[in-house]
Structure formats: structure tokens, C-alpha cells
Amino acid sequence: MSDIFIIAEAGVNHNGDIKLAKKLIDAAKSTGADAVKFQTFKAESLVSKVAQKADYQKQATETDESQLEMLKKLELSFSDFKDLKKYCEGKEILFLSTPFDFDSIDFLESLEMPIYKVPSGEITNLPYLMKIASTGKPVIMSTGMSDLDEVGLALEVLRDNGAGTITLLHCNTQYPTPFEDANIKAMLTLKERFGVAVGYSDHTLGIEAPIAAVALGATVIEKHFTLDKSMEGPDHKASLDPQELKAMVTSIRNIELALGDGIKRPSRSETSNKEVARKSIVATRNIVKGEIFTEDNLTIKRPGNGISPMKWFEVLGMSAERDFCEGELIEL
């Protein structure tokens, strides 16, 4: 697996249709993402009847329905998720799903979920965090809408209750996120403050922000994707299509290679250019044996396989040990 863990967030973009969910898995696999992630919930356990939809949800769904009614349409059954996990195994892509209630956590535990993703909305949910931590699994936690104190408290709960390795994702939960609100540098603040691996869960339009996050040191990238942005549903419009997701993954893999190991040394590919691009000390005219090297009979020109110009003042004043022709590399 690559160093950068890329999660293709299918979320609820299956619109409650398992056939569409499988097509999303196929698309995620084709892009080279490491994992495809869904959301496991029972709508009635997640929201009350009086809960309103977010503004971005109202714009992309039926205006007269409640959040509960909207989420009911987006549910998949536990049986569906068993099928999707098996389908992912056949496609050789990691199946992940974010649980939103205790029953869903228990169910995903029965599927041997290898990593738990805590969404931004649950970062202040003490019982939920304790339940997730009690599994002992690694946790990736988004930190949208939170300040450092809230992140610190959630991190403390996870650690005190047995969570495995924890990665914090900087996140902005507006869909889509305006670029001026992305504040990707906050990811570095999380790393410095809490001493954990960090990443970025992106809701901006396009692929620039997650690519920038990788260049800054993100170890996990999460990005929503859909098969069709024009579909009805809360998250489609702020998601990438498969071609865009593939472009993001390809760019991240290239940046991952380009970041390297941080050691400053000539690379294998550029070593052959040293002689071509660097210069040496050469004769400006014919020089006879015994003649003193001066600024009048020496100059500096390519190629670079002779005496380095860094030895210029060492060579001046020395005498030629043989004859040199004009343009010949000086030897001592």
C-alpha cells in the first residue's frame, strides 16, 4: 500500500440502491483508491422527527421533507452491507463504512471492520467515542466544525478508552467548501499540537485542495465521489465524478513519488547531466609547459569533467606541467 491512504467516499451517493452502491465500488477500484467508504446508520436512531436539513441538503433534495425522511431514502440494510463488503473483497479494494449509532458499530464489528472513521458530527458525542474506542481498532477522525479544545477532548476520550492508532483529518463540513474556508494549514496545527498523523477530508470542488494537502504532509485523503453529479441527493453536487477522482488519485501518487525521502543529493536521473551542465577550468589560448597559470590564459567553460572552478584560486599561480591547447581542460 502507498504511504498516502486514499478513501473514496461513496457515502450515501448510492441513493439507497445496492446496485448503484456496487457501481460506486467498481468506479472507486478503477481510480486506484485504497478504500471505498459508505455510511451505516438507522435513520430513526440518527435523527429526531423535528431535525431540519442543512441548507445544502435542502438545495439538492425535496424541500418539504424532513432530515429523517431524507435519510430513510438513503438507508441500506445490514444485509446490504454484508453483500457490499463481500463485493469489495472480490474487487480487491478495502471496504469501510462510518457508523452513526451503536447498533451500526456492533454490526460493523461483526464484519471485522479494520478501521473506524469518526465523522465530524460525532466529535462531541462522548458515548459514541467511547464505544468506537472500545473496539481497539485504529481510528480516523474528522475534525470539521471543531476547535482545538474539542479535538483534544475527543482525542483524550479515544485514547483513554482503548482506541488504536489515531489519525486526525482536518475538515470543513460545508458542501461544497469555499476555497477561502478550506484552511488546509490547520492540518499542520493538528499535527504539531497533538503529535499524531494527520490528513484531510475535502469538500471543496475540484482536486486542488487534497493535492495541496498531500504536499503539506497529509497521510490520509478522503473525498466524496459520485457516478453522476446531477442525481438527486444531498452530496452528489459536491462530489467528484469517477474521471475526476482518478485524476486526483493519479496526481496524489505522482506527488507521493515527487516528495521523496528529503535527503539532498544528486538523483540517479540527473547524475549524467553533471558533465554537461557544470564547468571546468580551461585554457583560453595555447599554454606551454612551465608557463604560470593566470587569469589571462585560463577561463571557465563547459564541460564539467575537469578541475572544478571552485579551485580557481588554487590553480592560479601554479605552473603548467605540460603543453595545453586552446580550449583544453586544465590538468594538474
| Joined grid coordinates for residue 265 | 543529493
pLDDT value, residue 53 = 63
179 and 303 co-located in one domain: no
Which residues is 97 bridged to in the sheet?
38
181 and 296 co-located in one domain: no
* Cβ atoms of residues 330 and 281 within 8 Å: yes
pLDDT value, residue 2 = 63
191 and 311 co-located in one domain: no
Closest among 255, 248, 258 to 8, alpha carbons compared:
248
Residue 231, classed as helix, strand or coil, is: coil
Domain boundary among 214, 243, 259: 259
What is the count of structural domains for the chain?
Answer: 2
What average pLDDT is seen over the chain?
A: 94
H-only helix segments in the chain: 18-31, 43-46, 55-60, 67-73, 78-91, 102-110, 126-134, 148-160, 179-182, 186-194, 208-216, 242-259, 274-277, 312-315
Structural domain boundaries, residue 283: 266-332
211 and 157 co-located in one domain: yes
76 and 147 co-located in one domain: yes
29 and 139 co-located in one domain: yes
196 and 290 co-located in one domain: no
158 and 246 co-located in one domain: yes
pLDDT value, residue 117 = 98
Domain boundary among 259, 285, 306: 259
Q: Which residue has the cell 421533507?
A: 65
Which residues is 319 bridged to in the sheet?
292
pLDDT in 10s for each residue of the chain, 332 residues: 468 999 999 999 999 999 999 999 999 999 999 999 999 998 777 887 777 767 777 776 777 778 887 878 789 999 999 999 999 999 999 999 999 999 999 999 999 999 999 999 999 999 999 999 999 999 999 999 999 999 999 999 999 999 999 999 999 999 999 999 999 999 999 999 999 999 999 999 999 999 999 999 999 999 999 999 999 888 898 899 999 999 999 999 999 999 999 999 999 999 999 999 999 999 999 999 999 999 999 999 999 999 999 999 999 999 999 999 999 999 99
CATH (domain of 123): 3.20.20.70
Rounded alpha-carbon distances, angstroms, from residue 289 to 200, 297, 319, 324: 68, 13, 8, 8
DSSP label of 17: -
278 and 249 co-located in one domain: no
151 and 280 co-located in one domain: no
204 and 142 co-located in one domain: yes
CATH (domain of 286): 3.90.1210.10
pLDDT value, residue 1 = 45
Other CB atoms within 10 Å distance of the CB of residue 182: 23
pLDDT value, residue 64 = 73
95 and 197 co-located in one domain: yes
Give the β-pairing of 280-283 and 298-301.
antiparallel
Give the DSSP H/E element, type plus range, for residue 278. Answer: none
pLDDT value, residue 60 = 64
Helix, strand, coil in percent for the chain, rounding step 5: 40, 15, 40
pLDDT value, residue 186 = 98
pLDDT single digits (tens) 260-283: 999 999 999 999 999 999 999 999
Closest among 45, 86, 44, 90 to 69, alpha carbons compared:
44
Domain boundary among 259, 288, 319: 259
pLDDT single digits (tens) 9-61: 999 999 999 999 999 999 999 999 999 999 999 877 788 777 776 777 777 67
